[in-house]
Structure 1
Amino acid sequence: MLSIRDVIAESGEFYRIWVLPAHSSYNGEQRECYTEDHVLPFFAGYVEWRIKEGLAVSNIPAHKGISPDSKFFLNDRGEAYKLSLRKKGSDEYQPRSMNEQLKRLIQKAELLGATPSSFRDSFVRGLYENGCGWKDLMSVTGIKQKRTLERKIRPQEAELDKVFRTLFSRVKNPF
């Protein structure tokens, strides 16, 4: 998982371009990430909340006064999200508890049919529709195969039918 030093410079400024470390990435390879201006207020508010709550604060003013080795994203208990094995016998990990928290948020917001995976797929599709090329998509997402990206951008008809059935399966007919 990302640490404070991966996202915030010693000066306290958020990096606009930073490196996602290999140990935190989807495919085990480091890659560049970009923080756009409209995201910075959310990061700043989150960091202010952490400082106010005293979560991993440091007496050293660097990194906004937060311990540089502490994890950037914390769970509801103020602890770093734990990683779980992706599959039994695998050496790949995933933030299962973070995904579960996102699922609870989706459920409370009543975003029927939405999943953490559909958010990721929408992100990929949005990048593509806004002009991102294949090599950049691979670089940003960590997905190595063009075929995998194509499935996210242009789902096959059978997949689209499944998407609609899932999306509308919770709609109850009042008649």
Structure 2
Amino acid sequence: MAKTPYVQDHELKRMLKIAAVSGELPVRNVPMLRILYGTGMTLHEVARLPVSAYLGVNGDVLDESAVTADIAYNGTERPIFWSNKELIAALDQYLAYRIEHRQMVTTRTGAYRSLDPDSPIFLTDEGEPYKLTKRKTATGTISYSCDSLSQLFRKLHMQAGIEGASANSARRTFAVRLHNKGYDLKSIKVLLGLKTLRATNNLIDADPVRLGAIAAGVF
């Protein structure tokens, strides 16, 4: 089975640049792309991640939090590290937009920047949580999907000329980029919430960037 496309650095930069000036609600779409490509979270995890996973009670950005078990795609908690400056800047700008437009705010102005800590970070254009669809496989396993976010994700990639990308493209790209920077499979496994090193290696296997480098050195 063919792997989901890997998004190269120049493609990702172009997509972020286009998303910042086009489409519906760029102030939300840019940090959404950054969190997908910068953390390796799944779409349904991003749809449910609460404000309290990003902000402390005093409104400061947390250094570390977690994709909790009730949100994680596989029911296993894993850490999130809020250390990327571009991601933090984009998220803060979007949360300021939410506050200005009174989207799921509370009367507790001194806590969580007045945002409802249990509300998802990302909301629809109308300021409502994204709706998830619950599905049961033939084996009885329960999974969740977010069709509206999937459509938005595909649109953001298509307008940047990146064809065939899915939500898993962000996870694979996150894994490959970490691998290329020299991080070990065990660390990548933890950040993605994968169960085994084999699953992690399979995600990274046949890295197109490295294969390209090999091909470039033939002559």
Residue 131 (1) aligns with residue 182 (2): yes
Residue 52 (1) aligns with residue 133 (2): no
User: How many Å apart are 1:154 and its aligned residue?
Assistant: 1.5
User: How many Å apart are 1:141 and its aligned residue?
Assistant: 0.1
Larger Rg: 1
Matches within 5 A, 1:35-74: 35-36=82-83, 37-61=85-109, 62-74=111-123
Larger mean CA deviation between 144-153 and 42-51 belongs to 144-153
User: How many Å apart are 1:92 and its aligned residue?
Assistant: 2.4
User: How many Å apart are 1:13 and its aligned residue?
Assistant: 0.8
Counterpart contact for 2:57–2:112, Cα < 8 Å: yes
Counterpart contact for 2:134–2:143, Cα < 8 Å: yes
The one-letter code sitting in structure 2 at the alignment partner of 1:20 is: V
Give identity over the alignment, percent: 27
User: How many Å apart are 1:87 and its aligned residue?
Assistant: 4.2
Counterpart contact for 1:75–1:98, Cα < 8 Å: no
The CA distance in 2 between the partners of 1:114 and 1:54, in whole Å, is: 33
Larger mean CA deviation between 87-96 and 125-134 belongs to 87-96
Counterpart contact for 2:53–2:66, Cα < 8 Å: yes
- Residue 144 of structure 1 corresponds to 195
- Structure 1: any 5+ residue segments left out of the alignment? 161-175
| RCO higher in structure (CA 8 A, sep ≥6) | 2
The CA distance in 2 between the partners of 1:34 and 1:27, in whole Å, is: 19
- Residue 81 of structure 1 corresponds to 130
The CA RMSD over aligned residues, in Å, is 2.1
- Residue 171 of structure 1 corresponds to none
Larger mean CA deviation between 14-23 and 79-88 belongs to 79-88
The CA distance in 2 between the partners of 1:41 and 1:72, in whole Å, is: 14
- Structure 2: any 5+ residue segments left out of the alignment? 1-47, 212-219
The one-letter code sitting in structure 1 at the alignment partner of 2:125 is: D
Over residues 24-61 of structure 1, what are the superposed CA-to-partner deviations in whole Å (9 max), with x where a residue is unaligned? 11211111111122311011011011111110011112
Normalising by the residue count of structure 2, what TM-score does the alignment of the two structures yield? 0.66
Counterpart contact for 2:176–2:207, Cα < 8 Å: no
User: How many Å apart are 1:135 and its aligned residue?
Assistant: 1.8
Normalising by the residue count of structure 1, what TM-score does the alignment of the two structures yield? 0.81
The CA distance in 2 between the partners of 1:131 and 1:87, in whole Å, is: 38
- Residue 11 of structure 1 corresponds to 58
Over residues 130-156 of structure 1, what are the superposed CA-to-partner deviations in whole Å (9 max), with x where a residue is unaligned? 122122111100111222221221239
The CA distance in 2 between the partners of 1:113 and 1:83, in whole Å, is: 23
Q: What is the aligned residue count?
A: 158
- Residue 23 of structure 1 corresponds to 70
- Residue 21 of structure 2 corresponds to none
SS at match of 1:69: coil
